Amino acid sequence: MDLQLNGKVAVVTGGSKGIGLGIVRALIDEGAKVVNVNRSAEDGQRLQQEYAAEGKVCRFVQADLTSVDRCREAVQCALDEFGRIDILVNNAGVNDGVGIDDGPGAFLNSLQKNLIHYYAMVHYAADALRAHKGCIINIGSKVCDTGQGGTSGYAASKGAINGLTREWAVDLAPQGVRVNAVLPAETWTPLYERCLAAMPDPVGARQDIERLIPLGQRFTTIEEMAAMVVFLASPRSSHTTGQIIYVDGGYTHLDRKCTASSVSNFGSAET
C-alpha cells in the first residue's frame, strides 16, 4: 500500500534510539523527509550521515527538549530548511522513576522531561501544521492506565498526553489537523534489553513478562509500533482523529486470568 508520504516533512522528537528510531526509519522508507530532534549529537549525526549516503533526508537538530526555547528553535530549523511541517511525532521521554517520596521538585523535573515539550512542540508547530492540514502523533504509555509503582512523574505525564491528544483533536479539527496517540506496553527495545540484562535471571524475567502478553506471548516489536505511527501519519487514515491506540498484543486490557493462568476457559460453562 502506498501511504502517500513521499516528500512530506516529519519532525520526530527522540528519533535516534528505540521506538523513535523505528519511527524515523519507517517514515524515511515511505519517502518522507525527517527532522530528528534529539539530545545526543553523536547518535543524531551518525543517523543523518547514514541516510545522506543513501541520498535520503534525516536532518538532525540537537536539542535538550526540557528547554522550551530549544523546542521553538527545533521547529524553526525544520521550517527554515523545508518550509513546511506535515507531521509531528512527539516521542521523547524517559521513565525516570520519580515516585511519591522524591518530592515536588523532582516531580516537576519529570514533567519537564516527559510532558512540557509535547505541548511546546505543538504550540510552535501549530501554524505550519494548520497550513498543510498536517497531523500529530503522540507516543504515550500503558503506565497511565495500569500504573507501575514508583514513577509518579512519568505516569502523570502519560495520562496528560492522552488528555491533550483529545483536546488538541478538538482544537485543530476545524483546520483539518488530525491528532492521535499510540501507546506501547511491553516493547522490545535496546533499553528494555539492558534493563533485563541487569537482573539475576534475564531469560526467566523475559519469559515471565511474555507470559502476560495475550497475543503470541511475546514483546511488541519496534517495527510494529512504527508501522502504526506511520499509518496514522498518512492520508490513508484521513478520518481518524482523537484516538488512543494501543499496540501491545492485548497487554493493557485483556483479562489476565484468561491469558496468564490455567483458568483459560473461565466463563465458558454452559448455562
Alpha carbon distance 134, 235 (integer Å) = 9
Alpha carbon distance 195, 189 (integer Å) = 10
The candidate with the shortest Cα–Cα distance to 94, out of 64, 70, 58, 137, is 64
Q: Which amino acid is at 153?
A: G
Q: Which sign, positive or negative, has the C-alpha torsion 69, 75, 79, 82?
A: positive
Which H, E and C letters describe 48-81, residue by residue? HHHHHHCCCCEEEEECCCCCHHHHHHHHHHHHHH
Residues in a beta bridge with 245: 182
Alpha carbon distance 50, 84 (integer Å) = 23
CA distances to 37, 39, 85, 133, 136 from 127, rounded to whole Å, are 19, 25, 9, 10, 13
Longest dimension (CA), the chain: 68
Alpha carbon distance 88, 47 (integer Å) = 19
Residue 220: enclosing H or E segment and its boundaries?
strand 220-221
* Eight-state DSSP code of residue 152: H
Alpha carbon distance 251, 55 (integer Å) = 39
- The reply to whether 124 belongs to the active site is no
Please identify which of the residues 51, 118, 154, 251 carries the catalytic annotation.
154
- Terminal-residue alpha carbon distance, the chain: 46
Q: Which residues are designated catalytic?
A: 154
